Amino acid sequence: MNTIPPTSPAPDGHALGARIGLAARLWRRAVDQRLQPYGLTQATWRPLLQLARAPEALRQKELAQALGLDNSAVVRVLDALAAAGLIERKGLPDDRRARAIVLTPAGLAMVEQVTASAADVLEKATAGIAAEDLATAEHVLARICARLSDADDIGEAARP
């Protein structure tokens, strides 16, 4: 079994940021491994999930923004997903130049597989952890995410 050493505490004694980053990398790796037989990687399953969760069809630019990716990187991924028959680009009635990205029936079926695989990874990763502890972790991470999303000054560099 592959063991991951604990993160070293930061000079101030807090390793939370490093632990969050490590957990995210390990999560993506585990889900990627589960989805390998379907030819999916994080680069392809994340857009599928984003499209499935969106309340309406997204334009390429909106998808890129939602994923935190450069528009040109999303073009390559969407081309691959379209070639695999998982998405289609459809014209919009209000803007003939723009294209909405929609999941095909095969894409919807793949989203179900991604969701099931992610749920299985989560179940195995959290086995034996008390429900109260998981709820606390979820609550704390949600608060951290909200603060990072809302605060403009958190990520700013120090000014001389």
> How far apart (Å, rounded) are the C-alpha atoms in residues 82 and 60?
13
> How far apart (Å, rounded) are the C-alpha atoms in residues 135 and 142?
10
CATH number of the domain within which 97 lies: 1.10.10.10
For 56-83, how does the pLDDT look when each residue is reduced to its tens digit (9 = 90+)? 889 888 999 988 888 888 989 999 999 9
> How far apart (Å, rounded) are the C-alpha atoms in residues 25 and 59?
28
* 8 Å CB contact between 121 and 31: yes
The number of folded domains in the chain is 1
**Cα→Cα distances 74→3, 6, 18, 68, 130, Å:** 34, 34, 28, 10, 39
Query: What local confidence, expressed as pLDDT, does residue 63 receive?
Result: 92
For 6-63, how does the pLDDT look when each residue is reduced to its tens digit (9 = 90+)? 555 555 556 888 899 899 999 989 999 999 998 888 889 999 999 999 998 898 889 9
* 8 Å CB contact between 110 and 37: no
Quote the pTM value. 0.74
Question: 87-92 and 95-103 as β-strands: parallel, antiparallel, unpaired?
Answer: antiparallel
Query: What local confidence, expressed as pLDDT, does residue 2 receive?
Result: 53
Domain region containing 98: 25-150
Average pLDDT value for residue range 72-95: 89
Q: Residues 58, 51, 94, CA angle at the centre, nearest 5°?
A: 20
